[in-house]
Structures are given as structure tokens and as C-alpha cells.
Amino acid sequence: MSAYFITGTDTEIGKTFSTCALLHAARAQGLRALGMKPVAAGAEWVNGEFLNEDAARLRAAGSFDPGLALLNPYCLASPIAPHIAAREEGVRIEPARIRTAFDSLRAQADLLLVEGVGGFRVPLGDDYDSADLARDLGLPVILVVGLRLGCINHALLSAEAIAARGLTFAGWIANRVDPAMLRVDENLAALHKGLPAPLLGVLPFREDRDAALAATALRLP
């Protein structure tokens, strides 16, 4: 059984799209694959429960539906920084609760992808952030690089932060979030040179966000 922590160079760079594409790639190889969103901020009330769009997309992309209680242990209503949303909603994000859900999902799947929130170091509480969560789960990290101006700096800083936590940098995905970006090949060359991990694929820009079709551009780590 394998598990990875999926992080990004920033928010809104296609982390969920990339995670769903990896799930579809794994399923195409006959693996039972699940996605997990431990903490999500921004949700709508649907059928008697809060539902986050990213969590819903992960649930749909997985091999089966494990239930939102495991897939998304903390679903916060406000679309703001999770530690602020949690404080305003009277919620304390407990790593032990996330770990329990993680262990349950990992026992049910051949591949479990744990998607963080925003970038690598997003606060989840006063003294705990998403990098701490990746460290506590002990997972190798896959970095989603949103290809847009500034991505090289963000990617290199993220790689340094991953190394500082003593975590394995398992690979990176380049996602074409800006179809008008100039000098894409040159930026990819700089990322290849600077990132100490293999490239798992370059995802094309897709307005329809169809992760199943994008999966063919990826390989599993």
C-alpha cells in the first residue's frame, strides 16, 4: 500500500485537478485508489451536510466512496485561510483525528493521495501547519507546480521547505494553469534543473477540468 502527500506552489494552481488525474491514472493500472482532503475551507450546505468542491471531486475520482467523514474530516464553511475559518467556527483541527481517518483509508486502498490545502506551509492552527501534517503522516511529497509567472521561485522554495522537514520529494507535476504564459519550455527547463525530483508529467490547460482525460499525461511515482 502506498500513500503520498500532494502539495502545491500556491493556491489555485490545480492541486485537486492534478490529484484527480493521478487517481485516474492509478485506476487505469488496476489499483484501488482514493483521495483524501484532511482540511478544506469553503463549502456549501448540500443534503444536510457541508460539502467542499475539492473533496467532492476527489470522491468522484476515487475507486469508491469511503464517505466524507473519512475523506474530509474537517470541512470549514468559509473560503478563507483554514486556521482563521476554524477559529471563527469554533473548531480545533486535531492531527489525531486526521490520522485516524488516514489509517482507515490507507487500509482500504492500494494508493492513497492526501491533498493539502494551498501551499506547503498553510497554518492549520496557532502552532501547526500543513507541512507539520505531512511530516506527522510520514509521507513522500508530490509538488504541483502551477505554470505561471513566478513559478520557478515558488517551486524552489517549496522544495527547500520539503527538505527542511526531512521528507522525501517524490516528484513534481507541471500544470498549465495559464494558457497565455510565455516561455513555457524555458521555465520547464529551469524547473528540471532546480528541482531534485522527477517530473511526473505536464498537464495541459483544460477549461473543462476533465481529470480523467488529463491522466494520460501523468505517470505514477
* pTM metric for this prediction: 0.96
- Hey, which bits of 85-185 come out as E strands? 111-119, 123-125, 128-129, 141-146, 169-175
pLDDT tens digits, one per residue of 19-67: 999 999 999 999 999 999 999 999 998 888 889 999 999 999 999 999 9
pLDDT given for residue 4 in this prediction: 98
Rounded to 5 degrees, φ, ψ at 104 are: -65, -45
pLDDT confidence of residue 48: 83
Q: Can you count the helices (H) and strands (E) in the chain?
A: 9, 12
pLDDT (0 to 100) of residue 50: 87
Instruction: Identify the active-site residue in 15, 37, 57, 148.
Output: 37
Please give the full DSSP string across 12-58, using - where no structure is assigned.
SSSHHHHHHHHHHHHHHTT--EEEE-SEEE--EEETTEEE-HHHHHH
Is 37 one of the annotated active-site residues of the chain? yes
- State which residues of the chain have pLDDT below 50: none
Q: What is the 3-state secondary structure (H, E, C) of 160-187?
A: HHHHHCCCCEEEEEEECCCCCCCCHHHH
Length of the chain: 221
Residue 98: φ, ψ to 5°:
-65, -40
